[in-house]
Structures are given as structure tokens and as C-alpha cells.
Amino acid sequence: MYNHTVARLTYRALLGRRRALILCALPVLLLVIAAAIRAMTGADDQTAADVLGGFALATMVPLIGVIAGTGAIGPEIDDGSVVYLLAKPVKRPTIIFTKLLVAIGVSVAFSAVPTLIAGFLLNGNSQQIAVAYAVAAAVASIAYSAIFLLLGTVTRHAVVVGLVYALVWEALFGSIVDGARTLSVQQWALALAQKIGADGAISSAVGLPLALVLLIGVTVVATWYAGQKLRSLTVAGDD
């Protein structure tokens, strides 16, 4: 189920040349903000939860998920070079699974790890806030990677669709319509964070068992379906 060459190629496509710098910019910004706020206001649990929840989990994690998830396969399909990969005797679900692993690795490295460090910078992990949000970021990264990898195989406008989901659905509808939150990766991840963090420090709109089932279900189904889509992929260049 894992092919080293595919992994190496995907890794280089994601982090090659200047792209690693772009991906680095987001976590660096988070750390700078965290350090600045700590210097400005001192350690405060509510502030830490605001920054980690409002900026790290709500904005940074989905963006990195979109970049890593669609970037793992989208550009290849876009410029047609995926046919050279598909022509090799490698099973297509294997290709998807390998790319998913790389996307997860990249997004966890660039979102969960900085979240953890930022949490420690902000309040030194009091009330387990740093660990809770880091775990939430890691779990959300996995689900986002799978979803956006699937989007990359389904549509040529994967990035736009992914951003519409991440920004419009999760941020806008999630804050207005309560029901929309049940279908939000961010809320599922928050449910896990709620469990880890101290009582009342973090709140989620979804219960933990439902959140776990949905997280795992979405990840598995998205990966499986992406493999199926890749089996019947037609490479068309119209745009």
C-alpha cells in the first residue's frame, strides 16, 4: 500500500523550491503572533484559546490542508503528467494512499507542530490547552488531507471548491446556522480537544463519539473514493 518513489515525488512536488517557504510562512506567522501576544498581555488561558481556536484551527489548518491535500495530486492532473505515473505498474489506490500519507505528514508538520509550540508560548500548556489544540489540529489535518485529496481527483477547480468549503461553509455558515456545525471538520476536531482540555476550556458543537465516527468515516470513504476516481480518470485539457 505504500510506494516510496511516489512518496518522494509527491514530497518534492509539495515542498520543492519556493513552495516550502510559502508553507513555512503560515506557521511562522502563528508563532510570531503567539510570541507577540505573550509579550503584550502575559499568559492568559482565554487569550490562548482564542488565538489557537480562532486563528490556528479555524484559518491556518484548513488552508494548509487545502494546499497539501490538493497540491499532492491536483497539479499533476492539471498539467497531464499524471498519465506517466498512472502508466506505471502501481495500483491506483496505492498511489492515492501514498499521496495521502505525504499530505498528512506535511500538513501535520506545518500545522499541528506549530500549534503545539504556539500553545506553549502562549500559556505554557495550562489547562492542557496547547496539547488539546495540537491534537485537534493533527486530527483535522488528516481529515482535511483526505477530503481535499479527493477533491483534487474529482474537479479541476479543487482549490477553489476546497476554499469555499473551508471559508464559506465552516467559517460563515458554521457561525450562523447551528446545523452546519455538525458537518464541519473543525467542530469534530474540537470535540476531541474538548475531551483533552480541562473542563470548560474548549467547547465543541458535536459530541465526541459522533465526531470520531464522522472523522474516521470521512477519511476512509474519501480515500477509497479517491482511489476509485483515479481508476477511471480521464485527462482532459480544456481550460
Partner 1 sequence: MSPETRSGTKAAAAPAADVIHNIGYRNYDGPRLGRAYARRSLFSQSLRGAYGLGRSAKSKVLPMILLAVMCAPAVILVAVTITTQQEKLPVQYTRYAVLLQGVIGLFLAAQAPQSVSRDLRYKSVPLYFSRPIERVDYVVAKFAAMASALFMLTGVPLVILYIGALLAKLDFVDQTKGFAQGIVSVALLSLLFAGIGLVVAALTPRRGFGVAAVIAVLTISYGAVSTIQGIADTQGSTDVIPWLGLFSPITVIDGVQTAFLSASSSFPGGYGPSAGQGVVYVIVLLGLIAGAYGLLMRRYRKVGL
Please tell me whether residue 45 binds partner 1 under the rule CB under 8 A. no
Euclidean distance between the first and the last CA atom of the chain, given in angstroms as a whole number: 33
CA 124 – CA 113 distance, rounded (Å): 15
Stretch that binds partner 1, among 70-78, 110-118, 135-143, 193-201 (CB under 8 A): 70-78
In the complex, least distance from residue 170 CB atom to partner 1, rounded to whole angstroms: 12
Side chain identity at 115, as an amino acid letter? T
Among positions 7, 163, 216, 233, the unique one binding partner 1 when judged by CB under 8 A: 163
Applying CB under 8 A, among 19, 31, 94, 196 the residue interacting with partner 1 is 19
We find the least distance from the C-beta atom of residue 97 to partner 1, in angstroms, to be: 21
Can residue 28 be called a binding residue for partner 1 (CB under 8 A)?
no
* Total residues in contact with partner 1, by rule CB under 8 A: 39
- Among residues 16, 54, 124, 207, which is the contact residue for partner 1, using CB under 8 A? 54
Cα–Cα distance for residue pair 99/222, rounded to 1 Å: 13
- Residue type for position 19: R
Contact between 16 and partner 1 (CB under 8 A)? no
The CA-based diameter of the chain, rounded to the nearest angstrom, is 58
Q: Which burial class, exposed, middle or buried, applies to 2 when counting CB atoms under 10 A from its CB (0-12, 13-18, 19+)?
A: exposed
Decide: 55 and 92 in contact? Cβ < 8 Å. Answer: no
Q: Give the cell for residue 100.
A: 495521502
Considering only the stretches 67-75, 123-131, 211-219, 220-228, report the one whose residues sit in contact with partner 1 under the rule CB under 8 A.
67-75
Which of 2, 224, 174 shows the shortest CA–CA distance to 95? 2
Task: Please name the residues in contact with 39: beta carbons below 8 A apart, sequence gap of 6 or more.
Answer: none
Contact residue for partner 1 among 28, 168, 177, 198 (CB under 8 A): 168
- Rule CB under 8 A: choose which of 59, 94, 182, 228 binds partner 1: 59
7 vs 64: CA distance, rounded Å: 18
Least spacing, CB of residue 136 vs partner 1, in Å: 17
Using rule CB under 8 A, residue 199 touches partner 1: no
CB under 8 Å to 5, separation ≥6 — which residues? none
Interface with partner 1 (CB under 8 A): 19, 22, 26, 29, 33, 36-37, 40-41, 46-47, 50-51, 54-55, 58-60, 63, 66-67, 70-71, 74-75, 78-79, 157-160, 163-164, 167-168, 171-172, 238-239
